[in-house]
Structure 1
Amino acid sequence: MEFRQFFNFLVILKESIKLLAKNIKLTLFITTLTLLSSSIFFVVFDFSSLSLARDMLAKESLFPISSSSSAEFTTHLSRIQHSFPCLLAVYVVFVLSYLIITLTSTTAIIIVSSDSYNNKNSSLTELSSRIAKSWMRPLVTGFYTTIFVTGYVFLAISLAAPFLASSSMDMLGAAVLFWAGAYGLYLYLCSVWILSLVVSVVDEDGSCGVEALGRSAVVMKGQRVSGFFVNVLCSVVSLGVYLGSRMTRGERVCGLVLVNGSCLVKILTFVAYTVLYCRGKGSRGQEIELNSSDVEYAKLGLITPLDSNVV
């Protein structure tokens, strides 16, 4: 069974590479635009945040030579308090901008991959229209998946607390084994969470949130090990990107390598999960429809029928 799942993973990887080359123009356009916009925002953020941080440090360095009761001290303190909201605003703008870039590129690459898998061709205008119509659904689903990921991380930290509290080598070794097992379990569980984003984009019923998570769990039946292998591969590639970035000279160059490498890994991940969705939807389409009918039937069952004797 495990060998079969590993063989399915190799098939998924092969089909993913074919999809990347199938609609090469749109794929290159999305990839180039994603890398370019991410690099520009990173450089702007790095420059602006460093300038504000250096300005705050320069003002703070004047404190030791100023008396805490002097007017000069109060002036320096008010300047720092005025600079801090600007620095915070830069961070907020960067996070929101990166979120928009990530959401748009993720939606675009999923749509293009799904169309390529089904032998459909979409123009740039059609792609833009579909992104505008469906971007809200992966945003809602991403909110739910973030809650699951955050809850899992806090659970793992709370369970690992007894290991981290001890200084003995045996307990530290047990902590390493625990974290390795917890990360492996995370790679196994998050296959459903990642696939739910694909479901939110390409599902014909427009499901999102909890409904998308439920549909992705159905699609992933029999494919979770394949999804686990995909996550392991992407984690290894991400580790290679990180180690490669540490070999570069300069913090800004290192950051650019990390940002662009992460974007490429994300694109590969969602292309592979789009293949997983299309393969699972093809084999379990009827089961998904039955589950949807059960949900609607359950909702109807909550309605109490009217008594025929009541006038």
Structure 2
Amino acid sequence: MAAVTAASSSDYRLTVIQILWRAFLLPSAVAPSLLLPLLLLTILSTSLLFLSAYSISPSLLDLLSRLSPLLRGDPPPPAFLDLRRALLADLRAIARVAAPSAVLFFLASLLLTLAVLYTLAITYSSHSGVSPSQLLRRIARRWYQTLITRLYVLILTLGLALLTSLTLAALVLALDAAAEAVAGAVAVPAALLYLYLSTRWWISLVVTAVEETWGIGALSWSVELFIGNKKRGTALTLLLKSVQLGILAALGVALATASAGPPGPPPPPPEKQMLLWAAAAAATALWEMFSMAAYAVFYDECRKSHGLELDKIKYEALI
């Protein structure tokens, strides 16, 4: 009987579009007294990150302008030591402004990720709401475990970026080709690998928030759950990341258009640029919450595909 139940539970699988639609409807099942604070705190946390980026943008642009001749392969200027001092000064200015905001954003994002994933996953999986007191108890119990899983994900992400960079540099040296030509051949496989791994990493965060395993255990369990769901998961992450990149690209285009302006008049005031950054921060926060809802639904789909029906009593005991 158990085998029949498991098979019947995995016969019907949601498509990526159906997962996104259920994720769109999922927040409406959360009590407004809980959803609104989570949404406002997510917007506040994302705004902190964008404010930090806005604060360092002048120093970053100055740094890029100094580096551009070297990146093009031009010979070092005569006053190379002065250029190096200027580069170090720009880097110190960036670190001085960005480091405190980055730490605050990481901590705020950690707690919000745990709170949002737990609330959405429990609401969807067990069809029962989560009260604010239950959510606070869960955060108090699982913040450390979520931190460890998040650090693992961060290390793996940085490792993938480093491996991609080293591969690109090795191919450029070995083939004696231009970096642009080699980058095109490396970018597509690296992007597909990142989408594949990123989906598993997000599932490990949902596992950490909802279940009792964490760290390496959550990453290993996400590998098991991902079996048979690779195509759906990778396509889901591709859509979510594409929109996220679209928001950032729209911000870049808007800033470039505003900064260019018509010839003659002075550039637009900083207030207009701040408004663009604030709009992008709000859009990013909303999309981030929607993405977490999508991964909560996909996590449930992964469990059902393996015949693991969710037990409401079990999840109530985990609060």
TM-score between the two structures when normalised by the length of structure 2: 0.68
Structure 2 unpaired stretches of 5+? 1-10, 60-88, 259-271, 310-319
Task: Give the partner amino acid of 1:275.
Answer: V
- Aligned counterparts, 1:189-228, within 5 A: 189-203=197-211, 206-228=212-234
Give the structure 2 partner of residue 107 of structure 1: 114
Indicate whether 1:231 and 2:237 are aligned.
yes
CA-CA distance at 1:86 after TM superposition: 9.3
CA-CA distance at 1:120 after TM superposition: 0.9
User: How big is each residue's C-alpha offset from its partner over 1:177-200, in whole Å with a ceiling of 9 and x where there is no partner?
Assistant: 321221122101221111111111
Give the structure 2 partner of residue 18 of structure 1: 25
TM-score between the two structures when normalised by the length of structure 1: 0.70
Q: Which sits farther off after the overlay, 101-110 or 263-272?
A: 263-272
Task: Give the partner amino acid of 2:99.
Answer: V
CA-CA distance at 1:173 after TM superposition: 3.7
Give the structure 2 partner of residue 277 of structure 1: 299
Task: Give the partner amino acid of 1:28.
Answer: L
Bigger relative contact order (CA 8 A; separation at least 6) = 2
User: How big is each residue's C-alpha offset from its partner over 1:141-166, in whole Å with a ceiling of 9 and x where there is no partner?
Assistant: 11111221122112111222245457
2:307 and 2:233 map into 1 onto residues whose CA distance is 19
Indicate whether 1:140 and 2:148 are aligned.
yes
Indicate whether 1:267 and 2:275 are aligned.
no
CA-CA distance at 1:99 after TM superposition: 0.9
CA-CA distance at 1:223 after TM superposition: 1.1
Task: Give the partner amino acid of 1:210.
Answer: I
Q: For the pair shown, which has the larger CA radius of gyration, 1 or 2? A: 1
1:91 and 1:160 map into 2 onto residues whose CA distance is 28
1:96 and 1:42 map into 2 onto residues whose CA distance is 14
2:116 and 2:276 map into 1 onto residues whose CA distance is 26
1:86 and 1:242 map into 2 onto residues whose CA distance is 24
Structure 1 residues 186 and 37, CA, compared in 2 at 3 Å: closer, same or farther?
A: closer
Structure 1 residues 43 and 236, CA, compared in 2 at 3 Å: closer, same or farther?
A: closer
- SS at the partner of 2:26? helix
Task: Give the partner amino acid of 1:207.
Answer: T
Indicate whether 1:152 and 2:165 are aligned.
no
User: Aligned pairs, how many?
Assistant: 255
CA-CA distance at 1:202 after TM superposition: 0.2
1:221 and 1:113 map into 2 onto residues whose CA distance is 23
Q: What's the C-alpha RMSD, in Å, of the aligned pairs?
A: 3.6
Do 1:45 and 1:94's aligned partners in 2 also have CA atoms closer than 8 Å?
Answer: no
Structure 1 residues 5 and 213, CA, compared in 2 at 3 Å: closer, same or farther?
A: farther
Do 1:137 and 1:200's aligned partners in 2 also have CA atoms closer than 8 Å?
Answer: yes
1:7 and 1:15 map into 2 onto residues whose CA distance is 10
User: How big is each residue's C-alpha offset from its partner over 1:69-104, in whole Å with a ceiling of 9 and x where there is no partner?
Assistant: xxxxxxxxxxxx9xx989755433211110122112
Task: Give the partner amino acid of 1:109.
Answer: V
Do 2:26 and 2:293's aligned partners in 1 also have CA atoms closer than 8 Å?
Answer: yes
- SS at the partner of 2:165? helix
Q: 1:176 aligns with which of 169, 173, 184?
A: 184
Give the structure 1 partner of residue 42 of structure 2: 34
2:167 and 2:48 map into 1 onto residues whose CA distance is 40
Task: Give the partner amino acid of 2:236.
Answer: V
Indicate whether 1:96 and 2:100 are aligned.
no
Percent identity, please.
24
